[in-house]
Amino acid sequence: MKKQIVFLILFFAASNLFGAYEVKIAMYKNHHFLMAMVAKVKEPEYRKNIVIQKKDQSYYVTSPVYETKGEAKKALSAYKKVFKDAFIQDAIKQKPPTQEIKEAVIIEKKEPKIEKRCSAEELLSNKTVYLCYENASTSSQKRIVQMDFEEEYMEYLPLKSTYDPLKISYTFKDDTVVLPMSGLEFVHKIYKKEDNFLQVKSFTDGKESSHTLRYYFKKEDALEFLKTIKNQHLDQSQNQVSQNSAS
């Protein structure tokens, strides 16, 4: 029973890593009117990440997949100022669409520049990497996850965890790591190789999450990056305090 509880705790930690929540924003038939409504979303970080999918004669509007419900609630608050019927849906529980999506339009969506396609197998087979977040919630950016790519399983273990590693089956496919879990397919796609880390984007059942990841080859480099992120948050907090005092 204890092993089952530990497994569930680690599974939900892994689910947070790969993204689990999505905001269902609206559905329109008039594309011109839809774009006018989208322009009314004041917060740029939410407006530029809106995803529009055309299916038959209608346009379905959603957010990217968020890793935590807290992030999804913040996005929902921004969207509901314009789209009153927006709501949060659990991406882990929702079923894939039964109809083929004929056209997908991403509004102002900027991808990391793709240079040379990387081979995930060559870079990661029988290797250990340390996963960090480039952009995500503050709690996620404080976390480093050790990922050991062994022959049959990838062992997933957040640093400072008191539990045994979670063993996850995986496959390499071109520049991606495919991780099937609980009926879903989580994919990490390598966009760029730097000297000491890989830049990675994550997808859940083909839907892109809202964050970019880094696979560091050395723990020391991952810890140094984590220190940089903490300093950035500290500077932002101090600036906010200064602005509030001035006002």
In the chain, the domains with their CATH numbers are 2-106 (3.30.70.1070), 120-236 (2.40.128)
Of 64, 71, 82, 81, nearest to 24 (Cα)?
64
Q: How much is the pLDDT for 77?
A: 93
- pLDDT grade, residue 135 (50/70/90)? confident
- CA–CA gap between residue 155 and residue 135 (Å, rounded): 24
Residue type, 142: K
pTM over 0.85: no
Q: What is the pLDDT of residues 83-133, one digit of tens each?
A: 999 999 876 655 444 443 333 344 444 455 545 678 999 999 999 999 998
Q: What is the number of other CB atoms lying within 10 angstroms of the CB of residue 236?
A: 11
> Contact, 31 vs 21, CB < 8 A?
no
Q: Tell me the torsion sign for CA atoms 161, 164, 167, 172.
A: positive
Q: 1-15, 130-144, 165-179, 218-232: which range is least confident on average?
A: 1-15
Q: What is the pLDDT of residues 187-225, one digit of tens each?
A: 999 999 999 999 999 898 888 877 789 999 999 999 999
Q: Name every residue whose Cβ is closer than 8 Å to that of residue 107 and which is 6 or more positions away in sequence.
A: 38, 47, 48, 49, 50, 51, 52
Question: Which DSSP letter does residue 83 get?
Answer: -
